[in-house]
């Protein structure tokens, strides 16, 4: 087999499809311009600690006032927002109502 650097574009695409290099990102069913990736979290406590760490890192970075890190901070904040368990929070609200009614 020819090494990938010496393949034609068509051969390269066939080679890439056959070997399946693209395993980390999966196409989103909801948005054609987005991808999903797997992140393993062992429990809700770990999830919350991860979100808190992302937020603290973002805050600390912003306090340093380095403009070159603004994009990094934005990405961290976007990840934190995506990780928030909003459906679960609604469930906790309902459980709270049941316990305190």
Query: For the chain (length 101 residues), average pLDDT per consecutive 10?
Result: 64 76 81 87 91 92 76 90 88 81 73
Helix segments in 1-101, DSSP class H: 9-19, 44-63, 70-83, 86-99
Three-state secondary-structure class, residue 99: helix
Q: Is 35 helix (H, G, I), strand (E, B) or coil?
A: strand
Task: State the pLDDT at residue 3.
Answer: 55
Contact 30, 59 (CB under 8 A): no
Instruction: Give the model's pLDDT for residue 80.
Output: 93
Give me the pLDDT at residue 8, please: 82
Q: What is the DSSP letter of 43?
A: S
Per-residue pLDDT, 20 = 72
User: Are the beta carbons of 80 and 58 closer than 8 angstroms?
Assistant: yes
């Amino acid at each position: 087999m020819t090494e990938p650097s010496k393949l034609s574009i068509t051969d390269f695409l066939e080679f890439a499809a056959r070997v399946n290099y693209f395993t980390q990102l999966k196409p989103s069913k909801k948005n054609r311009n987005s991808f999903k990736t797997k992140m393993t979290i062992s429990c809700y406590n770990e999830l919350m600690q991860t979100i808190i760490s992302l937020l603290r890192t973002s805050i600390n970075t912003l306090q340093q006032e380095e403009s070159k890190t603004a994009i990094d901070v934005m990405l961290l904040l976007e990840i934190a927002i995506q990780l928030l368990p909003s459906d679960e929070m609604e469930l906790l609200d309902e459980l709270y109502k049941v316990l305190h009614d």
